A and B are shown apart, each in its own frame.
Chain A
Amino acid sequence: MECIESHRLGNVCATAASDIAMSPSIPLQEMIRAIRSARTQCEERGVIQRECAAIRAQFRQTDSGARSHNLAKLLYVHMLGYPAHFGQMECVRMIASPRYSEKRVGYLGAMMLLDEKQDASLLITNSIKNDLAHSNQYVQSLALCTLACMGSAEMCRDLAPEIERLLRASNSYIKKKAALCAVHIVRKVHELGELFAPAARSLLVEKNHGVLHGAVVLITELCERNHETLERFRKIVPDLVQIMKGLVISGYSPEHDVAGISDPFLQVRILRLLRILGRNNEVASDAMNDLLAQVATNTDSTKTVGNAVLYETVLTVLDIKSECGLRVLAVNILGRFLLNNDRNIRYIAMTSLQKIVCTDHNAVQRHRGTIVDCLKDQDASVKRRALELSLALVSATNIRTMMKELLLFLSSCPPELKSHAASGIFNAAERYAPSQRWHIDTILHVLTTAGGDVRDETVPNLIQLITNTSELHCYTVHKLYRALLTDISQPSLVQVACWCIGEYGDLLMKGECQETEAVQVSEDDALDALETVLQSHMSSPATRGFALTATMKLSTRITDNVDRIRSIVSIYGSCLDVELQQRAVEYNALFKKYDHMRAAVLERMPVIEKNSLGDTNGESMGETMKEIQTATVKKAEPLLQQQPANQVCDLLDLLGGSEEPLQPSPAPGLSINTASTAGGDLLDLLGGFEPTPLAPAPTVTVYDKDGVALTLNCEKQSDSGLTVTLIASNSTDSDISAFTLQAAVPKSVQLHMKAPSGDSLPARGAAKVTQLVVLNNPNKVSLKMRIRVSYTRQGSAFQDTVQVDSFPGL
C-alpha cells in the first residue's frame, strides 16, 4: 500500500511541476523527510517557509492536480505548530470538489483548521448538507464525521433534520455514524434532544453492534440532559437487560471478542445507561438486579478488559437502589481490586471506594489496612488516591493509628501532596483529637515535617489552641523551644515557637515540667534562641517581627538580662525593614520613657476566643483580641480603653500625646500621663473640671489589697455625665512607684481619664494619688467600670483588676 501511494504521489507531482514552472513543489513525503533532516530549528523554519510559499502559490491556481497533496502538506506543517490559516478557504474548496480524495483531505483539513469559532466553518454547511445525501456512503461518512467533530450550534440546527432522517432510513454503516452525530447535536443544542428520541428508541432492535452502541450512547445523552426523557426511557430497561444477557451468555463471537469478553465497549455503555435509569428508582433497579449479579460473578477478571466491565458493574450497583447482597458483592469486588498487583486496578478501586465512603462507611473501613498500605506505594497517583481515602476514613476510634500512618506519609510524600496532606491532618486532628496534648503534639509534628507547606491560618489557629490549653503551657513551650533549637527553617514553626517563648518564657526558665523531661534553660539560652532567629537569613520579616516582640516580652518575665534585651531592641531601631524598625523604636520608648507601663503592656495574653478573631473589642477589656498574628504590643491594647470608639489604640497614639508641646497638665512633671487622655481633651483640661470643691458625695472603697487601697467617689455633672474620683493610697512599709490606673466601661459609655496627680505612693500613706475619670452615659445603660491597678513595689511589678458594679450617689 505504502509503495503504491508514494509512487502515485511522485507521478502526480511530476505532472504538476511541469505545468507550473514558477514554484517547484515537492511531494508530501519528501517534504516530511526534508523537515526531519533539518538539523536546527532555523533550518526547519526555512524549509517550511519555502514550502508554505509554494503551497500558497498552488492554492491560487484554479486547476491543480496536486491539490489534495498540497493541503496534506499544509496539514503536516500545521501539526508541527506552524500557522496554517491560509489553508482554510482551500479546505472549503476541496470539500466542494467531486473527487473523493480531495473531499477526504478537505474534510480532514476542515476538522483540523476550522472550528466553530471560525467564520469559514459556516461556508461548508452547504457542502455537508449535500454530501449527507450523497450516493457514496463514504462521502456521507465524511460529512457526518466532520459535523460531529466541529459542527457549531447553528450548523447543528440546520442539519438536524437530515441526521434524523439518516437515523431512520439508511444502512447500518450510516446509522451508527448518524447516531453519534446526533449525540454531538444534542450536546450543542439541548432542545433538539426531543427530535431524536423516537429514532433512538427504534434503533435498539438492531443487531449490528455499531448501531446498538451508537443508540445506547445517544439514549444516554438524551437521558442525562432531560429528566422527562429519562422517565420515558425507563421502560427500555428490560430490553437493555436482554441485550446484555445476550452478550454475556452467548457463545464466542469472533468479531467482537476481546480476551474472552464479547464486545466490552458495548457492555460498558449498556451498564452505564442502566446506572442512569436505575438511579433513585426501585422498579428499574429491581429489573436489573439479577443481570448485574450475573455479570459481577461471571466476568473474567484476569485481564484489564474484564476488569473494565466489572468496574462499570460495581459503579452501577453502588449507584442504583440495589439490594443488600448485591451491594456487598460489589464492595467485595472493590476489595479484591485493592489487592490486585496491577496498579491501575488499585487506583480505580480507591476512586470507587471514595465515592461510597460516606454512604457505606463501615464497608470501606474494613479495607482500611490495605488502603493505608497504598500510602506507601511508589506511584504518585496511587498515593494521592490513598491519601484522599485515608483522610475520609479517619474516625474517633482509629485516630491514633491513622495519624501515625498519616504523619509517616507526610514525612516522605511527594511535594505536590504535602499541602493537602497537612491540611487534611489538621482537620482530622481538630475533629477527633483524643487529648489536647496529642493535638498539640500532632500539630508540632506536622510543622516540623512540612512546615513550609501549611496554610497561613495555621499559625494563629495553633496559637489560639495553645492559649486555650493553659495546663500545657509549660509543656508546649519546652517542646517548641527544643524544636526551635533543632531547626529554624520552617517559618510557621519558628513563628509559633517565638510567640510561645515570649509569652511563656517564665515557664520555660522555671525548669520543671511534669509532662516532659526538664531541661535547664537559662535566660541567656532563651535570648540566644530568639537572637538566632532574628539574625538568620532564613527568617522572613514576619518571623523576625515575632522574634523581636518575643524578646521584648521576655523583659518582663526575666530578671537578670534586661540589659541584653535593651541592647537587642535598640540595635533594631536602625533596621532597614520598616516594620522591625518601628517596633524596635516603640519598644525602646517603652524602655526609656514608659518603663512603668511596660509590665502592663507586656503582660500575659488572655485566652483567645476563636470566633472573636477579627471582631472589634467587646464591652469590657481583655475579652477579645484582634489579629494576634503580628503579636505586637500596640495591637494588644484593648486594655487601655481611653476612647471606646477607637478600638485599637495605637501605641504611637498613646505616647504621641507626650510629643505635643501644648499639653497643659494639672499634675507636675508628669506629661506622660496626659497620653492617657485623648487629644480632644485639651480643652477639657482647662475647662471646669478642676478639682474644685465637690459636693460631698459618698466615697466607697472599691479595692484594698496588699496594703494598696483605692476609693471611688462619683458626682453627677449633668443628665448623662458624671465625674468619678479615684484616690489611691499605700499603707505598706515600702514605697510604690509606677502606679497607674486603667479603666474600661461598657461600649456606649464615653470615658475620659484625666491625668493623675502622680504615680508614686510613698510608704505608710504619706501621700495619695488622685485621678479623675469623666464619664458620659447618653444611653443611660447600667454603669459598670473595670479598673486595673498596676504598680511596682520593691522591684517587682504588681497588677490587679477590680470591677465596680454600683456607683454610690447614682
Chain B
Amino acid sequence: MMHFLLLFSRQGKLRLQKWFTPLSEREKKKVIRDMVALVLARPARTCNFLQWKDLKIVYKRYASLYFSVGLDEQDNELLALEVLHRYVELLDRYFGNVCELDIIFNFEKAYFILDEFLMGGEVVETSKLAVGASIEEADTFQE
C-alpha cells in the first residue's frame, strides 16, 4: 500500500499531503522534511526510485511540482509511476491545463479528486473516465 502522497514545489513548499497511515504531527513533519531533502537533492535524469528507511520512494517531477509517494516492499514501483501520472492526468482534465497555482488556490478540489482515485493507500478506480464523471456529479451536489 502507499503510505503517503506528497506534492511540493522546487522551493520545498508543501502543496498537498495525503497520509494513509496514522502518524503524529511531529512524525509527519519529519517525513516531509526528509522527503523534500531527498527528492530535491536528486540531479536530473536519475532514476525515480529511492530507498528511505524501509519504504520505497517513487517521485516524479511535473513542471514545478514534485509528486512523491512512499511504498511498501512488495509494491510495484513502475506501477506507482503510472499512478502518479494518472493523478496528474485527472487534475489536468478537471482544471484544464493544470498548473501549480490551480492546486494552491483549489487545494480542497485536489483532495476531492485524489479521494475519488485513491483510498486507503490503494487505487479505488482504474478508469479515468469514471473518476472524472464521479467528480463532476459530486460537484453538482455542492450548494
Q: Which residues of A contact B (CB under 8 A)?
A: 1-2, 5, 29, 32, 36, 72, 75-76, 79-81, 99-101, 104-105, 108, 115-117, 136, 138, 141, 144-145, 148-150, 173, 176-177, 180-181, 183-184, 209-210, 213-214, 217, 255-256, 258, 263-266, 268, 272, 304-305, 307-308, 311-312, 343-348, 378-382, 384
Is B129 interfacial (CB 8 A cutoff)?
A: yes
Chain B hits for A29, CB < 8 A = 105
CA gap between A305 and B79 in the complex, in Å: 7
Min CB distance A167 to B, Å, is 14
Q: Interface 1/0s, chain B 82-117, versus A by CB < 8 A?
A: 110000000000110000001011111001100110
Do B143 and A99 touch (CB < 8 A)? yes
Do B79 and A176 touch (CB < 8 A)? no
Chain B hits for A217, CB < 8 A = 122
User: For chain B residues 107-143, which have a beta carbon within 8 Å of chain A?
Assistant: 107-108, 111-112, 115-116, 119-120, 122-130, 134, 137-139, 141-143
The one of A2, A116, A176, A180 that contacts B106, using a Cβ cutoff of 8 Å: A2
Do A136 and B141 touch (CB < 8 A)? yes
**The 7 nearest A-B residue pairs measured at CB:** A308-B78, A343-B47, A148-B120, A379-B46, A100-B141, A184-B120, A265-B126
The one of B19, B129, B141 that contacts A138, using a Cβ cutoff of 8 Å: B141
A214 touching B142 in the complex, CB below 8 Å, given contacts A148-B119, A312-B76: no
A344 touching B130 in the complex, CB below 8 Å, given contacts A101-B143, A180-B122: no
Chain A hits for B127, CB < 8 A = 209-210, 255-256, 263
The one of A105, A304, A346, A381 that contacts B78, using a Cβ cutoff of 8 Å: A304
CA gap between A265 and B124 in the complex, in Å: 10
CA gap between A672 and B45 in the complex, in Å: 75
Do B49 and A348 touch (CB < 8 A)? yes
Do B108 and A72 touch (CB < 8 A)? yes
Chain A hits for B78, CB < 8 A = 304-305, 307-308, 311, 344-345, 348
Q: What number of B residues sit within 8 Å (CB to CB) of A?
A: 56
The one of A145, A255, A384 that contacts B115, using a Cβ cutoff of 8 Å: A145
Q: Which residues of B contact A (CB under 8 A)?
A: 14-17, 19-20, 22-24, 29, 43, 45-51, 74, 76-79, 81-83, 94-95, 102, 104-108, 111-112, 115-116, 119-120, 122-130, 134, 137-139, 141-143
Do B47 and A255 touch (CB < 8 A)? no
Min CB distance B10 to A, Å, is 15
The one of A305, A311, A381 that contacts B50, using a Cβ cutoff of 8 Å: A381
A181 touching B48 in the complex, CB below 8 Å, given contacts A72-B108, A348-B77: no
Q: Interface SS of chain A: helix, strand, loop or mixed?
A: helix
Min CB distance B9 to A, Å, is 12
Chain A hits for B77, CB < 8 A = 344, 347-348
CA gap between A141 and B119 in the complex, in Å: 10
Do A344 and B49 touch (CB < 8 A)? yes
The one of B104, B119, B120 that contacts A32, using a Cβ cutoff of 8 Å: B104
CA gap between A116 and B130 in the complex, in Å: 31
Do B107 and A344 touch (CB < 8 A)? no
Min CB distance B45 to A, Å, is 8
CA gap between A421 and B79 in the complex, in Å: 31
Chain A hits for B115, CB < 8 A = 145
The one of B95, B119, B126, B139 that contacts A177, using a Cβ cutoff of 8 Å: B119
The one of A99, A183, A343 that contacts B46, using a Cβ cutoff of 8 Å: A343
Min CB distance B47 to A, Å, is 4
Chain B hits for A304, CB < 8 A = 78, 81-82
CA gap between A149 and B123 in the complex, in Å: 13
A265 touching B142 in the complex, CB below 8 Å, given contacts A79-B107, A81-B29, A145-B115: no
CA gap between A72 and B142 in the complex, in Å: 14
CA gap between A173 and B102 in the complex, in Å: 28
Min CB distance A634 to B, Å, is 45
Do A268 and B49 touch (CB < 8 A)? no
CA gap between A317 and B15 in the complex, in Å: 40
CA gap between A72 and B104 in the complex, in Å: 12
CA gap between A248 and B27 in the complex, in Å: 43
The one of B47, B112, B119, B129 that contacts A379, using a Cβ cutoff of 8 Å: B47
Do A210 and B47 touch (CB < 8 A)? no
Chain B hits for A307, CB < 8 A = 78
Min CB distance B81 to A, Å, is 6
9 A-B pairs with C-beta separation under 8 A: A108-B108, A115-B19, A115-B24, A145-B119, A149-B19, A210-B130, A343-B45, A348-B49, A348-B77
19 A-B pairs besides A101-B143, A266-B126 with CB distance below 8 A are: A1-B94, A1-B95, A2-B95, A2-B102, A5-B106, A79-B107, A81-B14, A100-B142, A101-B142, A104-B112, A105-B108, A138-B141, A183-B120, A304-B78, A344-B81, A379-B46, A380-B46, A381-B46, A384-B51
CA gap between A176 and B134 in the complex, in Å: 13
Chain B hits for A1, CB < 8 A = 94-95, 139
Min CB distance A702 to B, Å, is 66
Do A213 and B123 touch (CB < 8 A)? yes
User: Which of B78, B95, B105 has the most chain A CB atoms inside 10 A of its CB?
Assistant: B78
Chain A hits for B15, CB < 8 A = 79
CA gap between A5 and B20 in the complex, in Å: 29
A310 nearest CB neighbor, chain B only: B78
Chain B hits for A136, CB < 8 A = 141
The one of B29, B76, B108, B128 that contacts A308, using a Cβ cutoff of 8 Å: B76
Chain B hits for A116, CB < 8 A = 22
Min CB distance B24 to A, Å, is 7
Min CB distance B50 to A, Å, is 6
Chain A hits for B94, CB < 8 A = 1
Do B47 and A347 touch (CB < 8 A)? yes
Min CB distance A277 to B, Å, is 14
The one of B47, B104, B111 that contacts A346, using a Cβ cutoff of 8 Å: B47
CA gap between A699 and B107 in the complex, in Å: 103
CA gap between A104 and B49 in the complex, in Å: 34
A344 touching B82 in the complex, CB below 8 Å, given contacts A177-B119, A272-B74: no
A173 nearest CB neighbor, chain B only: B134
A36 nearest CB neighbor, chain B only: B104
Chain A hits for B46, CB < 8 A = 343, 378-382
Min CB distance A698 to B, Å, is 75
Do B142 and A104 touch (CB < 8 A)? yes
Chain A hits for B142, CB < 8 A = 100-101, 104
CA gap between A346 and B49 in the complex, in Å: 11
Min CB distance B78 to A, Å, is 4
B104 nearest CB neighbor, chain A only: A32
CA gap between A343 and B78 in the complex, in Å: 12
Do B125 and A138 touch (CB < 8 A)? no
B123 nearest CB neighbor, chain A only: A265
Chain B hits for A180, CB < 8 A = 119-120, 122, 124
Do A214 and B82 touch (CB < 8 A)? no
Do B125 and A210 touch (CB < 8 A)? yes
B94 nearest CB neighbor, chain A only: A1
CA gap between A151 and B51 in the complex, in Å: 28
CA gap between A183 and B118 in the complex, in Å: 13
CA gap between A345 and B76 in the complex, in Å: 12
Chain A hits for B122, CB < 8 A = 180, 183, 217
Do A115 and B22 touch (CB < 8 A)? yes
Chain B hits for A108, CB < 8 A = 108, 111-112
CA gap between A271 and B112 in the complex, in Å: 30
Do A213 and B126 touch (CB < 8 A)? yes
A344 touching B105 in the complex, CB below 8 Å, given contacts A176-B124, A308-B76: no
Do B120 and A76 touch (CB < 8 A)? no
Chain A hits for B49, CB < 8 A = 344, 347-348, 381
A214 touching B124 in the complex, CB below 8 Å, given contacts A2-B106, A150-B22: yes
